Amino acid sequence: MSYPTIFTTPGVKAFAEDIDTERQRQLAKWGEQHHPDGTGGLFLTRMAHTLRAECQEAADRGEVTWRQILMEECAEAFAETDPESLVAELTQAAAVIQAWIHDVKGRTQPPA
């Protein structure tokens, strides 16, 4: 597929193409899906607080991992009930996933 490059962050174009390919596979298999968010509530709010603290403590020690960062972002999304805020949290989680993939590929592949 050929289209103008609109991404400037390293690795985002390939990430977007991979996501598009996966979404096409999902749509072919499951069709368009609609489900409740299933977010919010005391348990998920507490989980977000705990994971945020764990991530910050690890960052303060200089030992933060991608897993901790992503779990924090996902937990914040899971705790959110406001649709606009939920989209913002999910976007942050997607950005962390892209950064993590870019980092892994940078360790395993020569620079393009």
Block mean pLDDT (10 aa), the chain, length 112 = 76 91 96 96 98 98 98 98 97 96 87 60
Using the 8-state DSSP alphabet, how is residue 50 labeled? H
Residue pair 43/78 in contact by the 8 Å Cβ criterion: no
pLDDT of residue 65: 98
pLDDT of residue 108: 81
Of 16, 18, 11, nearest in space to 105 by CA = 11
* Structure tokens given for 112: 């393009």
